[in-house]
Amino acid sequence: MEFFKIRRDIPFMENALIFNVVSLITFLAAVFFLFSRGLHLSVEFTGGTVMEVNYSQPADIEAVRRVVSGLGYTDVQVQNFGTARDVLIRLPAQKGVSSAQQSDRTLTALKAADPAVTLRRVEFVGPQVGEELVSNGLKALFFVVAGIMVYLAIRFEWKFAVAAIVANLHDVVIILGFFAFFQWEFSLAVLAAVLAVLGYSVNESVVIFDRIRETFRRQRKMTTVQVIDHAITSTISRTIITHGSTQMMVLSMLLFGGATLHYFALALTIGILFGIYSSVFVAAAIAMWLGIKREDLVKHQSKREGDPNDPNAGATV
């Protein structure tokens, strides 16, 4: 079987400008939603209490909400979680009331309304933990970005490092934009997914850059644009198949992983789709705008290959 019967190199870079404009618009939209709507942060970040309770028959969300509001909470969220019988209740952190009292009181009230209710999970996070998580998350992001840039700069060249990071941060911002637009819950697991995506989609750029370098070495007559087109074309089948395989795994998590892994898998899905797009169209295009040249990549090689016994070494014609 072969999906990709490509006769000629596809002129990706001819349309680079269009793709970059599309990217820019998506990016700006994501930033806009991030600021206008904000992320719907989970309790882990904001502090507060989450309770998951289970009823023997489909739960009456309104009734549960009434019971919990009756306890004097102003900002309570009650929603189904996974199935119609599971209910997720979020309570804001309260000063002076310990988490223990909070969850115990709520459960007692719910039991009074319907004795069949059982507690499945309680999570309480103090506000100070949340603040720390935010700062640690940002540190992790910074560390990943810096680490990848340094590695790529050493292994390739700074122009590639910049291109890869810009392209992949653009992915991250777009994932966050999706979470802001749909107000999906942004939890620690999603943060882990976002950072994993950052590492993963840099892969993609690395594979293409690798090919660009190799093509520069082998095809001396090609122009930079042709080299980039050739590199993308010859790796496109691997790109699609790899991402397809990873996506199969993620899809399996989305289908079987249940509510806990739902947003994690969703973040990965968006990350994988945009990862392909950004590596092919954004990273390579930025590298092109930054003006990569054959000399940037090939000079190390030619020095190493130079034969010290060659009488003509260093001679120019």
Partner 1 sequence: MNRYPLWKYAILVVALVIGVLYTLPNFFGEDPAVQVSAARGAVRVDAALEARVTNALTQAGIQPLGIERDASSVKARFPNTDVQLKAKDAILKALVPDPNDAAYTVALNLLSRTPAWMGVVNARPMYLGLDLRGGVHFMLQVDMQSALTKKAESYSGDLRTILRDKNIRHAGINRNGQAIEIAFRDPAALQAARGVLADQFPDLQVADRVDGDTTMLVATLKPEAARKVQDQALKQNMVTLHNRINELGVAEPVIQQQGVDRIIVQLPGVQDTARAKEILGRTATLEMRLVDESSEGRAAEAGAGPVPFGSERFLQRDGRPVIVKKQVVLTGDNLTDAQPGFDQQTQQPKVDLTVDAKGGRIMRDVSRENLKKRMAIVLFEKGKGQVLTAPVIQSELSNRFQISGSMTTIEANDLALLLRAGSLAAPMEIIEEMTIGPSLGAENIAKGFHSVAWGFAAICVFMIVYYNLFGVFSSIALGVNLLLLVAILSMLQATLTLPGMAAMALALGMAIDSNVLINERVREELRAGASPQAAIHAGYDRAWATILDSNVTTLIAGVALLAFGSGPVRGFAVVHCIGILTSMFSAVFFSRGLVNLWYGRQKKLKAVSIGTVWRPGADGAITKAE
**Span 14-43, contacts to partner 1 by CB under 8 A:** none
Segment near partner 1 (CB under 8 A), from 55-63, 172-180, 214-222, 283-291? 214-222
The answer to whether residues 276 and 204 touch, using CB atoms and an 8 Å cutoff, is: yes
- 94 part of the interface to partner 1, by CB under 8 A: no
Going by the DSSP 8-state scheme, the letter that residue 31 receives in this structure is H
Between 18 and 249, CB nearer to partner 1:
249
- 100 part of the interface to partner 1, by CB under 8 A: yes
Task: Convert residues 162-201 into a mask of x (bound to partner 1 by CB under 8 A) and - (unbound).
Answer: --------------------------xx-xx--xx-xxx-
Side-chain half-sphere CA neighbours of 200 within 13 A: 23
Q: Work out which of 17, 21, 97, 249 binds partner 1, going by CB under 8 A.
A: 249
Segment near partner 1 (CB under 8 A), from 31-39, 64-72, 169-177, 239-247? 239-247
Task: Convert residues 108-147 into a mask of x (bound to partner 1 by CB under 8 A) and - (unbound).
Answer: ----------xxxxxxxxx-xx--xx--xx-xxx-xx--x
- 304 part of the interface to partner 1, by CB under 8 A: no
Cα distances (angstroms) measured from residue 107 to each of 23, 88, 122: 48, 12, 10
- 56 part of the interface to partner 1, by CB under 8 A: no
The answer to whether residues 86 and 140 touch, using CB atoms and an 8 Å cutoff, is: no
Looking up tokens 């095809």 gives: 219
- 230 part of the interface to partner 1, by CB under 8 A: yes
- Provide the token pair at 98: 């310990």
Least gap, CB of 62 to partner 1 (angstroms) = 24
- 248 part of the interface to partner 1, by CB under 8 A: yes
List of residues 6+ apart from 276 with CB closer than 8 A: 204, 239, 240, 243
Distance (Å, whole) CA 275 – CA 254: 18
Q: Work out which of 59, 91, 202, 232 binds partner 1, going by CB under 8 A.
A: 202
- 246 part of the interface to partner 1, by CB under 8 A: yes
Distance, C-alpha 231 to centroid of its chain: 25
Q: Work out which of 166, 237, 294, 298 binds partner 1, going by CB under 8 A.
A: 237
Least gap, CB of 3 to partner 1 (angstroms) = 8
Distance, C-alpha 220 to centroid of its chain: 37
- 247 part of the interface to partner 1, by CB under 8 A: yes
- Residue 81: other Cβ atoms inside 10 A: 22
Least gap, CB of 198 to partner 1 (angstroms) = 6
Q: What is the DSSP string of 207-269?
A: HHHHHHHHHHHH-TT--HHHHHHHHHHHHHHHHHHHHHHHHHHHHHHHHHSHHHHHHHHHHHH
Segment near partner 1 (CB under 8 A), from 31-39, 60-68, 262-270, 295-303? 262-270
- Provide the token pair at 18: 């269009």
